[in-house]
Amino acid sequence: MEFEFTILALSGLIIVSIGLLRVSTKFGVPALLIFLSIGMFAGSDGVLGIPFSDAELARKVGSIALAYILFSGGLETDWNKVRPVLWMGISLGSFGVLLTCILVGLFSVYVLGFSPVVGFLLGAVVSSTDAAAVFNVLRTSNTGMRKGLTSLLELESGSNDPLAVLLTTTILGFVGNDSPSWGLLVWEIFKQFSLGILMGLLLGYWIYRGINRIKLDYEGLYPVLLSASVLFVFASTELIGGNAFLAVYIAGIVIGNRSFVHKRSNVRFMDGIGWLMQIVMFLTLGLLVFPSRIPPVFGMGLAFSIFLMLVARPISVCISLIGFGVDWKEKLLISWVGLRGAAPIILATFPYAKSLPESETIFHLVFFTVLTSLLLQGSTIPFVVRLLGLQAALEQRASYPFEFENKDQSDTQLLEYIVPYGSASVGKFVYELDFPENSLITLIYRGETHLVPTGKTKMEDGDVLLVLTPVGAEGEIREILSRMSDRKNT
């Protein structure tokens, strides 16, 4: 009956995790912290005592889960929102990660007393913000941020894992006698990023074209095809030496910003897969932890966490954003939302493969840091946003009482637009919007209601418009809606 009990335990833990999501929304506790806590509760040291100590299996499960989470995040990333903050996101995802690694490494060596290899390994492991944590907290905190900060934070968290993985594996290469040269290190970074970007762009485009051309008889096969494509992008990029995490994230962006067959139902399906992967990943990592081994690293972990949150992260953010015109309040918020989550814990399992003597200390120290980050930073994000005066009404994610599908061969398309907060269109009647000829607003999603507009319907902040428009006119509509009024705080 061992198999049946395993399935019962796994399904039960997932059901309990989903049920406790209400706690996350109601009390502002990060959902990922709940998942980790349930895993610890059920693990070897916990009440249920489920035996699990396979770090290599946890690494593999975590890597696949993270690939789906990144793809799902990329699929829902609006390129038009990302484009204005693209270079800032790249700077944070590269220079920010490298600076954090260096600063935390120096602290670990000269203050905590670790050897240089272990110290900088710790720096590499915690150098990236976690996509799963940031996506989750930003979307469940019910607090919006202005000036594209949400897009910037999601772009950074989705794109900085690859460099953290590369730094971790490279530093581990210095363990033993097979230490690579610095020239080889630079070449490896260039190769992984180049191949990751190239594979993401090419495979993302081919998948998009394939989905539109294959014309399957059963609609239910499209989500299956898309799910298998994620694994194909991940594995093929990994096999040729590229960065697989970067590839799946870029492929998600490429596919998500184009119209394809049954797009809305596929995006919803992948969102569900993303949630399932988050739960499974954090439960698995929680099971791997022995809570009784955390108290011995409490003092060291507290010093490590405080330095990372209050020194290393702010310094790396400030230096990375020099020249981008970001004010000090925005830099402070970006620094505070630098959550650590599953990625550092997954990377902390890598030293086990090298049989590093300090691997257990590294793992539990990193796990303590993640708990601290989720508890202190994740639960206070709404408060910090309001304290700094950077809040904005939360953009709604529209749901419609029907499905719609755009066809490649059609001359018209049904597209979704959001009326930005502070837009000059707010307060205008529909007939005053000066949309392109033959464009028609078919439905407005406002609050929890759907409105069928007339010419006398007034636009409001945050309205989600479903517009039937000729192909090629979408840019003009977006430009009309994005014009800002002279109201304060636009």
Per residue in 186-209, pLDDT (tens digit) is: 787 788 889 999 999 999 999 999
- The yes-or-no verdict on residue 299 having pLDDT over 50 is yes
Give the bridge partners for 345, in sequence order.
Answer: none
What pLDDT score does 487 carry? 47
Task: Report the range of poorest mean pLDDT among 15-24, 254-263, 326-335, 400-409.
Answer: 400-409
pLDDT band at 405; cut points 50, 70, 90: low
Q: Catalogue all structural domains in the chain, each as residue range(s) with its CATH number.
A: 1-179+260-392 (1.20.1530.20), 412-482 (3.30.70.1450)
- The yes-or-no verdict on residue 108 having pLDDT over 80 is yes
**What pTM does this model have?**
0.78
Per-residue HEC secondary structure of 164-227 comes to: HHHHHHHHHCCCCCCCCCHHHHHHHHHHHHHHHHHHHHHHHHHHHHHHHHHCCCCCCHHHHHHH
pLDDT band at 490; cut points 50, 70, 90: very low
* Residues whose CB is less than 8 angstroms from the CB of residue 425 and which lie 6 or more positions away in sequence, other chains included: 419, 433, 459, 480, 481, 483
What pLDDT score does 231 carry? 95
- The yes-or-no verdict on residue 138 having pLDDT over 70 is no
* Residues whose CB is less than 8 angstroms from the CB of residue 352 and which lie 6 or more positions away in sequence, other chains included: 55, 56, 59, 359, 363
What pLDDT score does 455 carry? 87
Residue, of 1 and 293, whose pLDDT is higher: 293
d(CA 40, CA 287): 5
What pLDDT score does 488 carry? 42
Q: How many CA atoms lie within 13 A of 291 on its CB side?
A: 16
- The yes-or-no verdict on residue 166 having pLDDT over 90 is no
pLDDT band at 402; cut points 50, 70, 90: low
Calculate what percentage of the chain has a pLDDT beyond 70. Answer: 88
Q: What is the chain's mean pLDDT, rounded? A: 83
- The yes-or-no verdict on residue 124 having pLDDT over 90 is yes
| pLDDT average, residue stretch 29-47 | 79
| pLDDT average, residue stretch 338-345 | 84
- The yes-or-no verdict on residue 397 having pLDDT over 60 is no
Calculate what percentage of the chain has a pLDDT beyond 90. Answer: 24
Q: Where are the beta strands (DSSP E) in 114-273?
A: 144-145
What pLDDT score does 131 carry? 64
| pLDDT average, residue stretch 432-437 | 87
